[in-house]
Amino acid sequence: MKKNTTNTEELETRHRGNWKEKIKPYLYIAPAFVGIGLFTIYPVIKVLIWSFQKVNQLDTSKTKWVGMKNYSYLLSNGAFQKTLLNTFIYTGATLAIIMTCALILAFWLNKSQGHLTMFTQGAAFMPHVISSVSIALVFSMMMNPSFGLFNKVLTAVGLPASPWLTSSSTAMPSVVGVASWKAIGYYCLIIIGALQSISASIYEAASLDNAGAGVTLRKITIPMISPQLFFVMITMTIGSFKVFDTVRLLTDGGPNNATSVLVYYIYKQVFWESNIGRACAAGIVLLVLVGVLTVIYFRLLSKRVHYQ
Amino acid sequence: MGEIVLKNVTKKFGSNTVIQNLNLTIKDGSFTVLVGPSGCGKTTLLRMIAGIGPQTSGTVCIDGKDISEVAPGDRGVAMVFQNYAIYPTMSVYENIEFGLKNNHIPKDKRRKLVDDACEKVGLQELKDRQPNALSGGQRQRVALARAIVKQPSVFLMDEPLSNLDAKLRVQMRVELIELHHKLKTTFVYVTHDQIEAMSMADTIVLMNEGKIMQMDSPRKLYRDPDNLFAARFIGSPAMNIRRFGNEEYVLGFRPEKGIISTQEPQGCYRTSGTVVAKEDLGSEIHYSVRDMYDDVSVIRSEEDDITVGEKVWIGAKPENIYLFGNDQLRIREDDPRYPDLCRQVLALQ
């Protein structure tokens, strides 16, 4: 019994002496945590709070709580609904186009070697390096209905001219086209990297196993690059949901809200309408949507992704 | 059945010719080992037979049929790769089944064949595992099962044991020999390890710089080499050699046939030197002796009191000496130069 007491005392002393040791790791990570708290967690909480308020930027004492009013306005507002729909269309279309084109381009570039391949790889990646402003400027010029290059080419080959960015029916496809053109090279490079990590002997083994091109693609190539494809899909979806610059520079959300997307809507609420509360509520909607989509992706696809 | 005939095959990589006009016949049911130093073209030859690295010119025949234009999957061959090339996204069962599935074999027959193959290599318990949960030896077995299941007429193996640890390698060596006896099909095995070649092959094809230096049984290759390359490549430690007769001829003797003694041996080739190393391996002792020309290795199976630093005589009896000409070819007893060269060797100091 006595021995037990001594043991407990010893332990307690050791514990008391150890508090410095215990606190050390927290001190090491404290600077990073302060940064994250200040620049990530605090803004998110602030946005969440503002989304329930009518914010007065000039006199903060006049800011008042409005409960769910901002949210209910958004969900019943036609322009916001259109914005949401546009965002989904934009995301779906860019995802489908970029994925397909990047995959095809990557397979082709991975198979062939030589100067042409090197050139194509560089050329495909180039748009990623060029600033969005330059791209928007060049494309708005080329898409100009009266003197743009695209319509000149269309009429030269006997096709009808298109209004491109100036009609609500063609504006969204035009924006999607520009955005896809900009991103294909980057995602293609990621997929090429994945393809090149597959050992040549796997394909040789498959050819000895009498696997045709289709079977090899379905059973070997796609499963083996699935982690990278999954990563590309998630980052691309999040990126597309947050699209702003392309829309702002090419169409300003128009014509008639045909290309207005979520982040552009938020921007308009802040800088045109000075409605911080509503902008914050839209921001939270964006956050929730991205979160829900990511969870759905993980639920649906994670079983099909093969991590080695 | 699986006799392989390569006729006048040439393989070029760009402007670099790796194999030129090579002819080789591999007997049906044999365990043939292609051995040689790195870059000698042995793997290239194997890949030609498999069809995954086709020859630039010449023909490859299996059982008299020219298969030069036949796709790898239709050649009736199976291959075990050096890195096993297991499909990492498929389970063990799916890996083994994949080839059968592609050949449209019915499901119940597939299951039976896969089960049989797994039993042959001891994989019954691991069929549902993913490759990343397997050890090196188990992966090796999957690769083997994947080859066995196709019931090919020819097994091709590209250094399949080189990624295993020494103990497992010895065990797998025995298992492969047993497997060959069981299956009775043609095995073509590539290795750079001459011990592996000696222990497994019934025929060794020794290659260097894209040419076949000698093709014989392990015993014949060891005891009766045709040229200096064969003599030096097979055997560990390598055969001791010394140039003589104005550097025009080479004499050689195997370390285990060497004599080491403190007294000058009589009636044989002899030279004196200092013992620079004595390695006691338990069953035998390896001596390295430095004479005025080179280091000479001698292996003795009995303990003696020779120590490092001691002056000793090294020798070899005339019947244990191999002679080679300037063209590196062997000078045998029936060669007119032989008696005179023998006398020269015995007079050397």
Cα–Cα distance for residue pair B176/B148, rounded to 1 Å:
12
Say yes or no: B276 contacts chain A, CB-CB below 8 A: no
The answer to the question of residue A180 being in a domain is yes
The percent of residues above 90 in pLDDT, for chain A, comes to: 49
Question: Domain range spanning residue A7?
Answer: 2-50
Instruction: Report pLDDT for B301.
Output: 85
Statement: residue A177 has pLDDT above 50: yes
The answer to whether residues A139 and A267 belong to one domain is yes
Statement: residue B17 has pLDDT above 70: yes
Statement: residue A307 has pLDDT above 80: no
Residues of B in contact with A211 (CB under 8 A): 73, 98, 102
With H, G, I as helix, E, B as strand and everything else as coil, classify residue B35. Answer: strand
Cα–Cα distance for residue pair A266/A272, rounded to 1 Å:
10
DSSP secondary structure, B196-242, as one string = HHHHH-SEEEEEETTEEEEEE-HHHHHHS-SBHHHHHHSSSSPPEEE
The answer to whether residues A277 and A172 belong to one domain is yes
Tokens representing B206? 């020794």
Task: Identify from B100, B102, B110, B113 which residue to disrupt to test chain A contact, counting A C-beta atoms within 10 A and taking the largest count.
Answer: B102
The answer to whether residues A144 and A26 belong to one domain is no
The answer to the question of residue A55 being in a domain is no
Residues of B in contact with A202 (CB under 8 A): 85, 87-88
CB contact under 8 A, B79 and A211: no
Q: Residue written as tokens 């390569």?
A: B6
Q: Within a 10 A sphere around the Cβ of B196, how many other Cβ atoms?
A: 22
Q: Within a 10 A sphere around the Cβ of A5, how many other Cβ atoms?
A: 9
The answer to whether residues A120 and A84 belong to one domain is yes
Residues of B in contact with A205 (CB under 8 A): 79, 81, 85-87, 146
The answer to the question of residue A58 being in a domain is no
The tens digit of pLDDT for each residue in A82-112 reads 999 999 999 999 999 999 999 999 998 888 8
Q: Within a 10 A sphere around the Cβ of B186, how many other Cβ atoms?
A: 26
Residues B32, B188 contacting (CB under 8 angstroms): yes
Cα–Cα distance for residue pair B44/B24, rounded to 1 Å:
14
The tens digit of pLDDT for each residue in A202-256 reads 999 999 999 989 999 999 999 999 999 998 999 999 999 999 988 998 888 878 8
Residues of A in contact with B71 (CB under 8 A): 207, 210
Span B246-259, average pLDDT: 91
Confidence of residue B346 (pLDDT cuts 50, 70, 90): confident
Tokens representing A212? 């045709």
The answer to whether residues A25 and A140 belong to one domain is no
Round the average pLDDT of chain B to a whole number and report it.
Answer: 91
Cα–Cα distance for residue pair B274/B291, rounded to 1 Å:
7
Instruction: Report pLDDT for A21.
Output: 87
| C-alpha distance from residue B149 to each of A197, B65, B78, B128, B311 (Å) | 28, 23, 9, 17, 61
The tens digit of pLDDT for each residue in B96-130 reads 999 999 999 999 999 999 999 898 888 888 989 99
The answer to whether residues A120 and A8 belong to one domain is no
Statement: residue A10 has pLDDT above 70: no
The answer to whether residues A45 and A116 belong to one domain is no
Q: pTM for the complete prediction? A: 0.80
The answer to the question of residue A164 being in a domain is yes
Round the average pLDDT of chain A to a whole number and report it.
Answer: 88
Phi (first) and psi of residue B157, to 5 degrees: -135, 125
Question: From edge to edge, which strands make up the β-sheet containing B285-290?
Answer: B259-261, B311-316, B269-280, B285-290, B295-300
The tens digit of pLDDT for each residue in B126-155 reads 989 999 999 888 998 899 899 989 889 999
Contacts of A171 (CB under 8 A, 6+ apart): A164, A165, A251, A254, A255, A258, A259
The answer to whether residues A29 and A175 belong to one domain is no
The answer to whether residues A158 and A14 belong to one domain is no
Tokens representing A270? 């802040």
CATH number at residue A112: 1.10.3720.10
Tokens representing B306? 């020779």
The answer to the question of residue A199 being in a domain is yes
Cα–Cα distance for residue pair A80/A88, rounded to 1 Å:
12
**Residue B273: closest CA among B304, B238, B297:** B297
The answer to the question of residue A257 being in a domain is yes
Q: In residues, how long is chain B? A: 349
Cα–Cα distance for residue pair B76/B235, rounded to 1 Å:
35
Cα–Cα distance for residue pair B156/B159, rounded to 1 Å:
10
Instruction: Report pLDDT for A15.
Output: 60
Statement: residue B30 has pLDDT above 80: yes
Say yes or no: A198 contacts chain B, CB-CB below 8 A: no
Shortest Cα distance, chain A CAs vs residue B168, angstroms: 23
What is the ipTM, given to two decimal places? Answer: 0.84
The answer to the question of residue A184 being in a domain is yes
> Which chain A residue lies closest to B81 (C-alpha atoms)?
A201
Instruction: Report pLDDT for A17.
Output: 63
**B247 or B35, which is more confident:** B35
The answer to whether residues A38 and A92 belong to one domain is no
Instruction: Report pLDDT for B124.
Output: 86
The answer to whether residues A197 and A252 belong to one domain is yes
Instruction: Report pLDDT for B1.
Output: 64
Shortest Cα distance, chain A CAs vs residue B213, angstroms: 29
**Residue A152: closest CA among A138, A162, A167:** A162
Instruction: Report pLDDT for A5.
Output: 54
Instruction: Report pLDDT for B177.
Output: 92
Span B176-198, average pLDDT: 91
The tens digit of pLDDT for each residue in B266-294 reads 888 888 899 999 998 888 999 999 988 88
Residues B173, B200 contacting (CB under 8 angstroms): yes
Instruction: Report pLDDT for A1.
Output: 45
The answer to whether residues A22 and A104 belong to one domain is no
Residues of A in contact with B146 (CB under 8 A): 205, 209
The answer to the question of residue A81 being in a domain is yes
Span A109-116, average pLDDT: 84
A59-A40-A36 Cα angle (round to 5): 125
Statement: residue A9 has pLDDT above 80: no
Total domain count for chain A?
Answer: 2
The tens digit of pLDDT for each residue in A148-165 reads 898 899 888 988 878 888
Statement: residue A16 has pLDDT above 70: no
